[in-house]
Amino acid sequence: MNAHTLSSRLTVFVATVLLFSPFAAAQTTTWQGSSGNGGDGAWATPGDWLGGIPTSGTSAVFYTDGTFSATSTVTVAGANSARSLFVGSGKTVELKMASGSSLSASGAITLIGLDSGTGTTAANLTYSGPASGSATLNLGSFYVGREKSNDNTLVFSGSLTISDPGTGVSYVGVGNGPGGPSVNNLLKVLDGANLTRFGLVVGRGTTSISGNGILLDGAGSKLTVNGGGAARGFVIGSFSGGQGNYLSVQGGAVVNVDTGVGGSSQNFLNVGNSSGSRDNYITVDGAGSLLDLKSSSSLTLGHASGYGGNYVEVGGTGSITTNGTMIINTFAVNGGNNSGNNRLTIKNGGTLTSSSTVSNSGLLQLKAGGIYTGTSTLTVTSTGRFEAEGTGLGSQVATTINNLGTLALGTTSGRFTGSLLTLNSTVTLATGAVFEATIFGVGDSDQIVLGATGDLDLSAGGAVFKLLLSGYAPVAGNQWTIFTGATGAGINGVFPEGSAILPALGGGLSWDYSNFNEAGNWNIAVVPEPGVLPLVFIGLCLVAGLSKRRRVGMSQERAV
């Protein structure tokens, strides 16, 4: 490539940069590597750059074309700076940070996946920490994939500390402009890297901004989002196109949502931030893995009504800790596009520790082996459902099921036997609240086992008992006990018989509800319908009469 051709390409490239980011510098310097073809080299070597070593006034540009190679490994030693970094499509760059080295690139937005050069595939930028010692980065806002730019990755790995000057929001997958959607872009924080962001959004746009994600993996790996305020925070899935975007925390990694920057006293984490944002999710899994919402930071699933399917799951000895409000919203019927309730699921081995309010208008699931603990107040609203089983409901969690809200034993699907919920805390069922249990077979039903400190408060009157059948047809004489343990001291009030919702029975059978109280040991049974009993008696009499006449006739025949 001659000097004129290269100059022309760079002019086009810089124009593209300016088009995509109004904050980008007009002055750039382009990586060409020690061999002059964009290959490997050292950051501080003047000959490895076309235009000189980047400074705080110039942006570092990496791209590929017929001359510049598709991959570059750059060694970074000492103190270095650039206004920002641009990595073009089809280019893969690794910046290997030496022990004690630093790099500051906080003057403009860093773009990974810029439409530049001749590359058409994904762009990849990796910052690798030293094998021993540590290195530091001071990075301003970054965009991983912007406008029709897909499958790009930004990786921080190893002993790195990455700070944020607190100037704006970073994005993984953005597509609001004429370029079109941006999908499957990924930010990784691995093997002990420590990343801080002022604000962070995963999947933002109006059309099909999907599959963008953040992966944290490895003990010591940490992400802190500490901006807060109305225009800052942490969002998974924003605007109507934000669908199927995610945060995955595993292998002992930690995510902190905190305050302390920008003068805000509160921060937030929203999953599904706008009407139309659906199927976005967070998973926390593995020993030591933690999502920690500090100070008054809130967590909201389904921030704007209209769509559902957004969820958070914690399991495999992972934990979620929150000192702020947690809100699980429902969805409204909206053009038939709903994917289901927004939900929080505490799986086997997972722990939710809350010292504040949990407001559930969607679905909260506490599965066997899961733990929900802390000095928490759980409120289940008229559209909310709390499915619980196991021994993990903490003694200090105060639960209130409001009118039309539901407390259900076990989970809705995938069960073939009854579930047990051990209750050592207070559960209050308001008037119109629904308590739901399922029968699976002879002597096999859902049950609540009341512990010494368990309290089921029915004193408001009018709570509804709803009984379901799952793959079983009862027969006369079947009976089930729904509440066991310290029921005498632990249950205050009854379920009015007239408000019970019981499944239909065939074959002349009916439910005996008369013993569903403390005196009757909270027993419910199947008996013949009252109107059938006289017919049964008459039938027995007829059978007996016919039998007697037959015996008399036989005696007379023998006498003859």
Q: Chunk the chain into consecutive blocks of 10 residues (it has 560) and report each block's average pLDDT, rounded to whole numbers.
A: 39 40 62 92 96 95 91 98 96 98 95 79 96 97 88 97 89 76 93 96 86 97 83 83 92 90 71 86 98 90 79 97 91 56 96 96 96 97 95 98 97 90 98 98 97 96 96 96 94 92 95 94 94 48 52 49
What value, to the nearest 5°, has the Cα angle with vertex 138 and ends 11 and 160?
115
pLDDT value of residue 115: 72
Is beta strand 343-346 parallel, antiparallel or unpaired with respect to 351-354? unpaired
- Strands in 294-411 per DSSP E: 298-301, 311-315, 319-322, 326-328, 343-346, 351-354, 357-360, 363-366, 371-373, 377-380, 385-388, 398-401, 406-409
The Cα diameter of the chain in Å comes to 135
pLDDT value of residue 49: 96
Tokens 């103190």 correspond to what residue?
Answer: 79
pLDDT value of residue 6: 38
Closest by Cα among 516, 512, 511 to 494: 516
Contact 452, 443 (CB under 8 A): no
Contact 76, 34 (CB under 8 A): no
Amino acid at 229: G
pTM, full prediction: 0.90
Cβ within 8 Å of residue 173, ≥6 positions away: 144, 145, 182, 183, 184, 185, 202, 203, 204, 205, 209, 211, 212, 245
pLDDT value of residue 560: 47
Q: Is the dihedral of CA 482, 488, 492, 496 positive or negative?
A: positive
